[in-house]
Amino acid sequence: MFYNPGGPGGSGTLFIIQEGEQLQTQLGEGWDILSWDPRGIMKSGPDIAAFDTDEEYYSYWSQYQGLGKISARGNLTQPTDVDFFMSQVPAFDNLTTALNQRMVQKNGEKLKYVGTCANVRDLVHLVDSAYGEGSDVNFWGVSYGTVLGAYLTQMFPDRVGRVILDAVYDPEKHSNQAPIKWVDTDSLNIDQGLLMWAQACVAGPASCTAAGLVQNATAELLLQEIDEVLDTAHRRYNGFAWTTGLINETVAMNADSYSWEYLAGIVRGALYNSRVWRVLAEGLVQITQLQQNRTSKTTGPIFPVWFTPQYGLVPDYFLDTISVAIYCSDTIDPAGETTEDLFRAYVKASQSISTLSAAIVSQNMRSHCHKYTTRAIERLPQSMKKKPKNVVLVIGNTGDPITPFQSARRLSSSAFLGSQARLLQFNAAGHGAHALNSTCIDEVVRKFVRGIPPNDAGNNDADVVCDVDMTPYGPPPAEWKNSTPPTSSEETTVTGDANMAKFSLKLSFFALVFATITIF
């Protein structure tokens, strides 16, 4: 079983070091667990990082931070906040143009060879080398890894063995729509994921310190408290740059040092995996106390998990820009779309779907694609219409904050993989099947990899539904069983021509760094 942890930009080799034994246990006896670093990542060439040192990295990203800069915006629900946000279009346009120029000047033609199609061909070659030419490709991909897996089903449908697509990042949209066109898709279940976390927190207050922030705590009251923390941060932000805290952990910070963007990005990122729920809860308590006592100061970040070097091998500047290169190289030509169009898309998503939609705008991969001038030498040349040789297992969490369940349901629907897919609905917060433990999922996976997929329900709904065994705070709340997201009209819509479509989180910085290590 070859495994890709997502990103794009996640190191498969590091993930296997950390999580390989867990995967072996989940698959059961008789399976090798393998992974690799996709092109441009860690030990695999080409080297396409835009920055060579921490100093270069911090110097670039600090230009987005401070009073009068994009990081000083609020949640884009008030006219004054929207006006300020839109006033940042020229500055952002200049900075993302400069990033593209730097990447092209430093890396040139190498940028054409890190796209998803190239990585799929590498995967097939690895299988040929290890198990014999023409062997079935067994693959488990999470998040962006589902794009790799879905491309595999279209490029090599006759090579598909046991393939699991977990936390689906819509591969058809990725191939056939400019990123600006589907900013809102990422945001569909952010609020659902946050609500499910809050429900679990108040159901187990003895283990969740954040439940103590409100009297007679309910999930709704806790969410109101989080909104107040974020709004207060926006009103009082003093222009402190988070890069300063990274460079010098002894710098004293008070409550006003934290912008809305900084805290909103951390809240969203913490929803990825239950392993950092404790950090989120304790951090919310600490920032609330600082806001109530503005003379208090702290050194180092309130949410240290995002700043702790993992394995001592993944510098910040390595992840961000490589993710942009891989992601944007797959996308279609934006056809004249502008930074103003991008910002208006974020405003729309923030006002109509979730106020957390625009968390960490500057470091979202899709924010840079309309200015990114390099496209992969090979891109997926058709819609997702081919049917693979074997059934594919598609897994979607109902409270996934970045790859919504709707994308899993869409990929497994009759419009795409159809009868050659089985949809597993995981009634859980978090990003992917490893976000929380589930005996049910383990049993489905063990049977699937041994050639026994779930029965086909015969429609576009879930073929099997699994629940969480236990959250960090206790048994899963009863509300989680009724967390199925509604069907959207676009789930069965094909965006490209059926025969020849157009050629074709970023997670926030905090989400990407953490997710690369623990869940992708």
Q: Are 317 and 56 in contact (CB under 8 A)?
A: yes
pLDDT at 433: 96
Give residue for tokens 């304790």. Answer: 282
Q: Is residue 239 part of a domain?
A: no
Q: How many CB atoms neighbour CB 141 within 10 A? A: 28
Taking alpha carbons only, the member of 476, 460, 353, 358 closest to residue 409 is: 460
Report the C-alpha gap between 227 and 223 in whole angstroms. Answer: 6
Residues of the chain with pLDDT under 50: 305-317, 495-520
Q: Is residue 243 part of a domain?
A: no
The CA-CA-CA angle for residues 322, 429, 471, to 5°, reads: 120
CA 256: distance to chain centroid? 28
pLDDT at 496: 41
Give residue for tokens 């014999």. Answer: 132
pLDDT at 308: 35
Taking alpha carbons only, the member of 316, 319, 332, 317 closest to residue 372 is: 332
Give residue for tokens 């699937």. Answer: 448
Q: Is residue 99 part of a domain?
A: no
Q: Is residue 200 part of a domain?
A: no
pLDDT at 506: 31
Report the C-alpha gap between 302 and 276 in whole angstroms. Answer: 13
102-133: pLDDT as tens digits: 999 999 999 999 999 999 999 999 999 999 99
163 pairs with which residues across the strands? 139, 392
pLDDT at 313: 39
Contacts of 331 (CB under 8 A, 6+ apart): 174, 178, 179, 369, 375, 504
Domain that holds residue 181: 2-45+113-187+382-518
Report the C-alpha gap between 296 and 290 in whole angstroms. Answer: 6
Report the C-alpha gap between 172 and 412 in whole angstroms. Answer: 12
**AA identity, residue 143:** S
Report the C-alpha gap between 37 and 48 in whole angstroms. Answer: 14
pLDDT at 146: 98
Report the C-alpha gap between 388 and 407 in whole angstroms. Answer: 19
pLDDT at 310: 34
142 pairs with which residues across the strands? 166
Number of domains in the chain: 1
φ, ψ dihedrals at 469, nearest 5°: -70, -50
Taking alpha carbons only, the member of 77, 485, 425, 399 closest to residue 219 is: 399
pLDDT at 497: 34
Taking alpha carbons only, the member of 64, 85, 63, 89 closest to residue 76 is: 85
pLDDT at 335: 81
- Encoded tokens for 333: 């030509």
pLDDT at 247: 65
197-245: pLDDT as tens digits: 999 999 999 999 999 999 999 999 999 999 999 999 999 999 988 777 6
User: For residue 127, what is the enclosing H or E element?
Assistant: helix 116-131
Q: Is residue 307 part of a domain?
A: no
Q: Is residue 213 part of a domain?
A: no
pLDDT at 43: 85
Q: What is the CATH number of the domain that holds 24?
A: 3.40.50.1820
Report the C-alpha gap between 190 and 185 in whole angstroms. Answer: 10
Q: Is residue 475 part of a domain?
A: yes
422 pairs with which residues across the strands? 393
Q: Are 46 and 114 in contact (CB under 8 A)?
A: yes
Angle between helices 190-203 and 260-270 (to 10 degrees): 70
Taking alpha carbons only, the member of 327, 360, 315 closest to residue 513 is: 315
Q: Is residue 447 part of a domain?
A: yes
